[in-house]
Every structure is written in C-alpha cells, then in structure tokens.
C-alpha cells in the first residue's frame, strides 16, 4: 500500500459520502496510478439506484477515476501539504466514456489511470476501472489544477 484513506484525505478535499478512493496501491509520478474503492451496500446511493437490484452508478465510477487522476496530478507536481490545501482539480471534459459491465455491492473497483499528456496545469488522462481484472468502465479525462 502506498496511501491509505487518511493520507488521501490530506490531498483530496472530498469527504463521505463523496470520497470514492479508499487506497492507492501504485503511483508512478507523471505516469500512472492504481487505486481502489470497495463498493458496499451501505452506501447511500443504493437507496435509489436501484431498490431490489443495486447497481453502482456509472457516474460514480467516472468520479472515482477522476479522483484517482487528481491524486496522480497532485503527487506528480510534488506540492507541499500547504500548497495542496490551496489548490483544487477541476475536470474540464470526460470523453469516450463506456460502461462495459455492472458494478454491484461487494465488488472492489480498481482504478487504473495513466497520463496521456500534460501541458502546464492541464492533464489528459486515460482512465479504466476494473472488477476482478475485467474492464467495467473507461474514459478519457481532462483536468486542470487551479488555485482555490
């Protein structure tokens, strides 16, 4: 393990119920990150999506990929803890999003995000989400690190 949820919260501003990364296993600065989220039936989203047939929403998978991408960007920029507190990642676009297989309670979502290119504070990322090494979702993400 590279980062646990306490360390993640020192970088990302998200909190329950919207913090969607539980742990980071691998991070190669400027290149890629492997992180995961444990999907639990106790999450509030399952109250309405869908009663009696719980499916983790695709938009939440994309947000998890985006949060993992934010961790990758912040760690790659080698900012101090004080500098991180003064910045935020804004997502500019999500392209080529695809959902391949439903994600259900009990699944462990693995986010694999890699840098396509970086120009200054703008990052283009390739995100893929897996459950048991099966691709469940993918998208290209574009983000910008800005001052709060």
45-59 burial, b at 16+ Cβ within 10 Å, e below that, comes to ebeeeeeeebebebe
Q: What would you report as the CA-atom Rg of the chain, rounded to the nearest whole angstrom?
A: 15
CATH fold of 5-134 reads Thiol Ester Dehydrase; Chain A (3.10.129)
Number of CB atoms found within 10 A of residue 78's CB: 9
Is the per-residue pLDDT at 56 higher than 90?
A: yes
Q: Where are the alpha helices (DSSP H) in 10-138?
A: 58-76, 81-85
44 near 56, Cβ under 8 Å? no
The active-site residue, picked from 23, 49, 104, 118, is 49
Residues β-bridged to residue 141: 94, 125
Q: What pLDDT does 78 receive?
A: 84
**Residue 113 buriedness (CB in 10 A; 0-12 / 13-18 / 19+):** buried
Could you state, in order of their start, the residue ranges of all structural domains in the chain?
5-134
Is the per-residue pLDDT at 112 higher than 80?
A: yes
> Is 53 an active-site residue?
no
pTM: 0.96
* Residue 114 Cα distances to 7, 41, 49, 81, 139, angstroms: 21, 29, 30, 23, 11
Q: What pLDDT does 79 receive?
A: 87
């Amino acid at each position: 393990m590279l980062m646990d949820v306490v360390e993640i919260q020192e970088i990302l501003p998200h909190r329950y119920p919207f913090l969607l990364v539980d742990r980071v296993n691998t991070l190669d600065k400027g290149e890629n990150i492997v992180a995961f989220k444990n999907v639990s039936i106790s999450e509030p989203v399952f109250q309405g999506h869908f009663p009696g047939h719980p499916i983790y929403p695709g938009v939440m998978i994309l947000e998890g990929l985006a949060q993992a991408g934010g961790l990758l960007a912040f760690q790659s920029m080698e900012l101090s803890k004080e500098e991180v507190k003064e910045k935020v990642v804004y997502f500019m676009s999500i392209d080529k999003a695809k959902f391949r297989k439903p994600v259900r309670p009990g699944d462990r979502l693995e986010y694999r995000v890699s840098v396509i290119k970086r120009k200054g504070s703008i990052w283009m990322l390739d995100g893929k989400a897996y459950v048991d090494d099966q691709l469940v979702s993918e998208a290209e993400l574009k983000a910008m690190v800005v001052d709060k």
